[in-house]
Structure 1
Amino acid sequence: MLGPEHEFSINDENFNPLPISDQIIRKIRGRIANEAVIGRVIIGKELQKHVIELKPVKPFEELSEFEEVMQEGVEELLSVMDGCKLLGLGMHPLLKLENAKVWDHRDRKIYEAYDRIFNIKQHGWLNIQSFQLNISYSSEREAVELHNKLRILIPYIAAIASASPICEGMPYYIDTRLNFYRINQKEIPLICNDVIPEKIASLREYRKILERIYEELRKRDAHVLCREWVNSRGVIVRFSRKCLEIKVMDEQECIKSDVALTAFIRAILRAEIEELPREKLIEKLDSAIRSGTAELKSELKELFRKAKENADDEEKKYLKIVKLRIKEGSLGESILMNMGDISRKEIIGVCEELSKCLERNEVYV
């Protein structure tokens, strides 16, 4: 089963981010709440009030259903937004931190605790959007196997999904989101662990890691954060959902591209994957953050070959998008290649194109 979570920024016609997620939820539900149901999707809040989340009411078995339902959700959300525009990417390219607003309704105690310990007034908190994918497991053995495979794949998934090349109107890393994400909780390094989790032999071992994180939080009187979701590595176990959650991907330009990433991940998980030392994984993740696919082409092509060999017919249809991203560069790389001078006018023009991609479910080229 597949459970996607998409995060999009809310914008005016000039792509100024609008902190109105609470107003949108109130319009749908009739009152301010953490989430509201519209059709077959759930509209939810995030830490930042200019970001809104979409996730399905029920997880999916088929990729075609995933695409159909989530695109329907995008369209229904747009229909209640009074002309505001949605934008994907891993970060808002124009957001100034001083203009970001934090969710100030229910659950604000969680954000207050985060702020007290880590200072959330930074890009790794207030300017961050991701495509998170939940993949179910049926047994402890399967959970451990999936976890250990995914930890090796993290740098490569990040490279293909990198889509945050501009920060505060200036070019930065191809995956600027991950650059800030991996240091946003540096006061307790164990929480993010340089994004790459340890290899585990059992779920008991994983729970011990969680308990070590909780111990550090309790020392700082942050009991409210002692939950399974506080683990911020690139893949985590969600016992409450009986799934693994992949957290390393930038949100893409449209639902179809997110489905393509899902197809690649699901197919490559059926293949044999070579173990790599943790230091090598961190080195390759650094490369993905810095330059997307550029320095990992040969390895990505080999992984794609294995994914295609293990893909079913439906997955193969979507893998064409991943093949293009590996060959011609990730979304972040393409954005920079397609821009002239990095000016506000140029950025707004690209945002307009990307917003239309999301609305029409078209891949950006």
Structure 2
Amino acid sequence: MDSPRTPLHLFKGFGVELEYMIVHRQTLQVQPITDKLIYDEVGEYLSDVEFGDIAWSNELVLHVVELKTQGPVKTLEHLHHNFQEHVRKINDMLEKHNAMLLPTGAHPLMNPYTDTKLWPHEHNAVYEAYNRIFDCRGHGWANLQSTHLNLPFYNDKEFEKLHAAIRVLLPIMPALSASTPILDGKVTGLADSRLEVYRHNQEKIPAITGKVVPEAVFTKEAYEQQILQQMYQQVAPYDPEGTLQEEFLNSRGAIARFERNTIEIRLLDIQESPVADLAILQAVVAVLQALVSGRWVKLQELKEWHEDRLAAILLQVIEKGQEAVLRDHEYVSLFGYNCEEDCTAGELWKHLVQEVMALEEQPEIENALNVIISRGNLSKRILEAINHEPSENQIRQVYHQLAVCLQHGGLFLPKEPC
């Protein structure tokens, strides 16, 4: 959803972005050849290649390619088929380089300090500015693949509703999407290791990421004053050319893009295949629609939640995923779920999916959500497939299976083929 256009009303359009690593087919060593992939397709080193429904684009580092909807789409239903088609096309093209796409939000064996190469072509000035300020050779820059969801708002009134709803749902989104239990060849003990490094990688300038959960601001003017201007002022001494004085600098888990009247949710780890990503996105959208409509509580109650209180819940979910125990009963009640004792994030999501989703006409999405809810997020399923202290060889075997899932559009279940 990049180009200027007439603003859309709430939930009348969706922009989806999926990021994948390019790795060696046998060793899984990262392959910095996204520019070669794009050149093979169009004969130029471009930042974007458009195919009508889906576009490919580069990212900060040369080993990541992003697939995204070309402008907003009217529905998320069946969209996974479009992405899956492009996954297969790219894998076919990478075969001559003995390379392939690898899913999950972080490479389990990558050494970002030796394996990172920045994109050297179009729009390189932005990447060089980031590298100069933060040194992008770290997991939080070079090894974090995510799924982004762009949701439109028409005016301040709609922004208020959407931002309020997204803020309160953010803390439990990783319970569904966590896919990063391993970094540096070791089990980290966290369900979402990508988010843990993400929230720390710009601590040099605290205003950029904040608490990951955005502050309680609900108009464009307030957002610009309390979030964007604070961020621009803090980065200015490190960015004399003003290269980064743009909305994209904002690294919260959801960021307002007033230049295109959307809020971009950036919190989600990418999954083993597009069907799993789109299942999670449909669940997120269905709950947001319910929150915006006032199904369980009034808008004013959503707006009153401070980011510190929400961030505390997010930290629990980053660590424990669906097993995170939600002891804040007022938070749980925002979603119409009255558990007499403490409940887990997984139990809350099970309630929400049953409450707001009707998937009879989308059996693949329904199956994917059932797997995530009943068998656990991808992090949990990866851990089921390995030892507590896995060898590099065992890790490679499991992630080879994940690459097969991506190619086939399947779901990862330990000891079962995709």
2:177 is aligned, of 141, 152, 161, to 161
Partner AA of 2:203 in structure 1: K
Give the match for residue 2 of structure 1.
14
* TM-score, normalised via structure 2 length: 0.82
* TM-score, normalised via structure 1 length: 0.94
- Write the distance in 2 (CA, Å) between the matches of 1:181 and 1:219: 23
Partner AA of 2:102 in structure 1: L
- Write the distance in 2 (CA, Å) between the matches of 1:29 and 1:241: 28
Give the match for residue 119 of structure 2.
103
Give the deviation of 1:58 after TM superposition: 3.4
Partner AA of 2:381 in structure 1: S
Give the match for residue 315 of structure 2.
286
- Write the distance in 1 (CA, Å) between the matches of 2:168 and 2:35: 38
- Write the distance in 2 (CA, Å) between the matches of 1:349 and 1:286: 30
Give secondary structure in 1 for the equivalent of 2:406: helix
Give the deviation of 1:56 after TM superposition: 1.8
- Write the distance in 2 (CA, Å) between the matches of 1:309 and 1:207: 36
1:309 is aligned, of 325, 341, 355, to 355
1:244 is aligned, of 254, 263, 285, to 263
- Write the distance in 2 (CA, Å) between the matches of 1:74 and 1:39: 15
- Write the distance in 1 (CA, Å) between the matches of 2:228 and 2:370: 36
| Deviates further, 270-279 or 97-106 | 270-279
Matches within 5 A, 1:314-353: 317=363, 318-340=365-387, 341-353=389-401
Matches within 5 A, 1:128-207: 128-172=144-188, 173-207=190-224
Contact 2:323 2:344 in 1 (8 A): no
For the pair 1:55 / 2:94, whether they are aligned, the reply is: no
Distance 1:303 1:333, change over 3 A: closer
| Long gaps (5+) in structure 2 | 1-12, 291-295, 326-342, 414-418
Contact 2:216 2:306 in 1 (8 A): no
- Write the distance in 2 (CA, Å) between the matches of 1:207 and 1:356: 44
Report how many aligned residue pairs link the two structures: 365
Matches within 5 A, 1:115-134: 115-134=131-150
Distance 1:24 1:292, change over 3 A: same
Contact 2:177 2:268 in 1 (8 A): yes
Give secondary structure in 1 for the equivalent of 2:324: coil
Matches within 5 A, 1:11-30: 11-13=23-25, 14-30=27-43
Contact 2:215 2:306 in 1 (8 A): no
Give secondary structure in 2 for the equivalent of 1:200: coil
- Write the distance in 2 (CA, Å) between the matches of 1:205 and 1:280: 21
- Write the distance in 2 (CA, Å) between the matches of 1:315 and 1:227: 41
Give the deviation of 1:28 after TM superposition: 0.8
For the pair 1:262 / 2:281, whether they are aligned, the reply is: yes
- Write the distance in 1 (CA, Å) between the matches of 2:361 and 2:158: 21
- Write the distance in 1 (CA, Å) between the matches of 2:221 and 2:353: 30
Give the match for residue 87 of structure 1.
102
Give the deviation of 1:60 after TM superposition: 2.0
Partner AA of 1:309 in structure 2: E
Tell which structure's C-alpha radius of gyration is larger: 2
- Write the distance in 1 (CA, Å) between the matches of 2:132 and 2:19: 25
